[in-house]
Amino acid sequence: MRSPRAETFTRVIDAVFACNGGFLAAGDALTGPVGLTAAQWQVLGFLEDGPATAAEVARRRGLRRQSVQETVNRLLRNGMLDRVPNPADARAPVLSLTRRAKEALRELGARQEEWAEDVAAEVSQEDLETTLRTLRRLREVVARPRLR
């Protein structure tokens, strides 16, 4: 029999998975008018802070490297990313945003802010801050290697 803490944690995981599905669906609805998907938006959004490799994007976003690479390949074909040689690793080019990607992100920024204001209005600021702290802490704990 599970402990109450383990049972609650399992319910948290289920809720996070359900939220993620909802966030991806909302992201697809927001990005569709500019010709992107939520997955593409995640990659472009990461690169707003500066150039990076696909592996760096995957690691920092907590995504599988293969799925990020597939998304990167689509973005390269669609003219949203530029690829330049990486002096540190010739097999891992550095990715940066094109002008087209920057314009799409500007348009998405306004749409996302309006959506976020609408959704956040139904949850207290205190609950949002607690949720953010808790999720960050859980990510740290889950990332630590476990002996088994």
Q: Give the global pTM.
A: 0.82
**What is the per-residue pLDDT for 145?**
86
Asked whether the predicted pLDDT for residue 147 surpasses 80, the reply is: no
Q: What is the pLDDT of residues 48-60, one digit of tens each?
A: 999 999 999 999 8
**What is the per-residue pLDDT for 42?**
92
Q: Which residue has the higher pLDDT, 137 or 148?
A: 137
**What is the per-residue pLDDT for 106?**
95
Which residue do the tokens 């992201």 mark? 27
Q: Assign 3-class secondary structure to 102-148.
A: HHHHHHHHHHHHHHHHHHHCCCCHHHHHHHHHHHHHHHHHHHCCCCC
- Count of CB atoms within 10 A of residue 62's CB? 9
Q: What is the pLDDT of residues 63-92, one digit of tens each?
A: 899 999 999 999 999 999 999 999 888 889
Is residue 92 classed exposed, middle or buried when 0-12, 13-18 and 19+ CB atoms within 10 A define those classes?
middle
Per DSSP (E only), the strands in 1-148 are: 81-84, 94-97
Q: Are 43 and 76 in contact (CB under 8 A)?
A: no
Q: What is the pLDDT of residues 79-133, one digit of tens each?
A: 999 999 998 888 899 999 999 999 999 999 999 999 999 999 999 999 999 999 9
Of the candidates 115, 117, 102, the one whose C-alpha atom is nearest the C-alpha of residue 48 is: 102
* Residues in CB range of 55: below 8 A, 6 or more apart: 65, 68, 92
Mean model confidence pLDDT for the chain: 93
**What is the per-residue pLDDT for 61?**
87
Which residue do the tokens 């799409």 mark? 104
| pLDDT grade for 148, boundaries at 50, 70 and 90 | low
**Which residues lie across from 52 on neighbouring strands?**
95
